[in-house]
Chain A
């Protein structure tokens, strides 16, 4: 019941902002059978019924890991330097 109330409230908010859509397309959420068939058709054609392609895990090569660790060190050093700059400014140097 709460979930339904949430959905209804969310719809009311979105309908209140609907004029931002600037589109001639009907904005009401009520769907006609035509809408549903179009929705299904575009889902089929564009592959929305399928999950996104799987992404397999790869292990970073040693040189890539070295570069990333180098960038971590670089970030830490630069953050320290920005802090020094900030402190120098704060004491009016």
Chain B
């Protein structure tokens, strides 16, 4: 077994993007120069004439990590989890539940913005440096395992979309893998971010699809007022209900999101003065995430509610049922949405693996660095994504339940990840005035207790099948 001390020894350097000697001469290390150019781009837009075009360009330049993390959160697994939820419980309390889940996501992710902007270090690096290799390795192993499992659900989306378009998944999955890893390896941060945002924008496709499907607005409204009774068939403590609750929480907040957004903030070069803009970016992403989630739940509640074994529907059944009820055009749009959801999530999760491992190994860790200069940064992420893609190329994978299980597993890893985050956010030596307020701490601890409680109830109901 490889111990931590046996990790490859690399030339010592602080953050390795930085070269004090060369910077003093006005010459910068490859990755750092790109990062400063990105900063310069934003500064020029801020200083430019206040025209509509310039404001739009500035707004577009400032969005990034927040929108990516939240729309990446509506991944292929998430889309199917929402569809399973709507199909199982119809117009139920899960629709209004998405709004508090959005606030929970904002609460958790906002902390990573402050931590990244103030310390200029990624999440894995902070844990590794502050608490040592032992605990750092624990959090990293959790992340990598959860990421590979989650990536499998993303390639499920690709596989199902391939079937809809009559393309063999043995070709489309490798193509998707090439795209996901190619944009990370060959693009610089700013272009990588723009390409990822361009793909992420198609996540919203589920909203017009739901609007055009003649939704039952009365039924949706009643879910918010409680007029429909919020009745849960099987009861609040049934295994299927608790699993869907856990899965919905798992698809809203997951460990990769913490690591991704903090490292993304650092690689974009955001500083403490950009925290407000980053919060707006995050809020925009949260609003998008909640709208898409509600759209999918409402759509499936209206058209898939009568399907048998709804809580374990697989992606293919969901997409084909949409086609049966709403026509082939809707099926194609849903399949495209599923494909997009898988691709964008795979792009951001692969990046989160690269950043986290790069930070742990203390190698140059920026999308701005060329692959030749930092193979230790890119290679583990590419390998992890290859494992997930390879698994989904196997026949007879139980897709529906695998998807739900992965979402639940994401919530299992979350409390430990959140505890590290909370400890760092209460570290005045690191964050100064940007430490958490007592209210934010109380809310965060409440989220952790909620996660653990839901999981424990699910565990009890699974092991003791006759309970309650």
Q: Please report A residues at the B interface, Cβ cutoff 8 Å.
A: 2-3, 6-7, 10, 13-14, 17-18, 20-25, 35-36, 38-40, 42-43, 46, 48-49, 51-53, 55-60, 64, 67-68, 71-72, 74-75, 77-79, 81-82, 84-86, 88-90, 93
Contact = CB atoms under 8 A, between A and B. Distances in A.
A21 B193 CA distance: 9
B41 to A, nearest CB: 5
Interface string B35-53: 1110111011100100001
B413 A36 contact: no
B362 to A, nearest CB: 12
Contacts of B455: 78
Q: Which 3 A-B pairs have the closest CB atoms?
A: A20-B194, A52-B120, A55-B129
A79 B409 contact: yes
B416 A85 contact: no
Interface of B: 14-15, 18, 20, 23-24, 26, 28, 30, 32-33, 35-37, 39-41, 43-45, 48, 53-54, 57, 60-61, 119-121, 125-126, 129-132, 135, 138, 142, 186-188, 190-191, 194-195, 197-198, 239, 243, 269, 271, 312, 370-373, 398, 401-402, 405, 408-409, 412-413, 415-416, 419, 423, 429-430, 452, 455, 458-459, 462-463, 465
A10 B317 CA distance: 42
B39 A42 contact: yes
A57 B26 contact: no
Query: Is the contact region of chain A dominated by helix, strand, or loop, or is it mixed?
Result: helix
A21 B194 contact: yes
B398 A23 contact: no
A39 B40 contact: yes
B28 A43 contact: yes
Given A20-B198, A22-B57, A42 B40 contact: yes
Contact of B138 (A25, A72, A82): A72
Given A55-B130, A90-B398, A49 B20 contact: yes
A10 B369 CA distance: 10
A27 to B, nearest CB: 9
Contacts of B132: 57, 59
A89 B37 contact: no
B398 to A, nearest CB: 6
Contacts of B416: 68, 71-72, 75
Given A36-B26, A51-B14, A89 B312 contact: yes
Contact of B119 (A21, A38, A55, A93): A55
B7 to A, nearest CB: 17
A22 B419 contact: no
B14 A23 contact: no
B23 A48 contact: yes
6 contacts: A6-B370, A17-B195, A51-B20, A52-B121, A56-B429, A86-B398
B277 to A, nearest CB: 15
Contacts of B35: 48
A20 B33 contact: no
Contact of B36 (A21, A39, A77): A39
A39 B120 CA distance: 19
Contacts of A6: 370-372
Nearest to A43: B36
Contacts of A52: 14-15, 119-121
Given A14-B188, A89-B401, A75 B142 contact: yes
A89 B28 CA distance: 56
A60 to B, nearest CB: 6
B60 A22 contact: yes
B187 A14 contact: yes
Contacts of B402: 86
A56 B18 CA distance: 19
Contacts of B30: 7
Given A23-B60, A53-B119, A78-B459, A42 B36 contact: yes
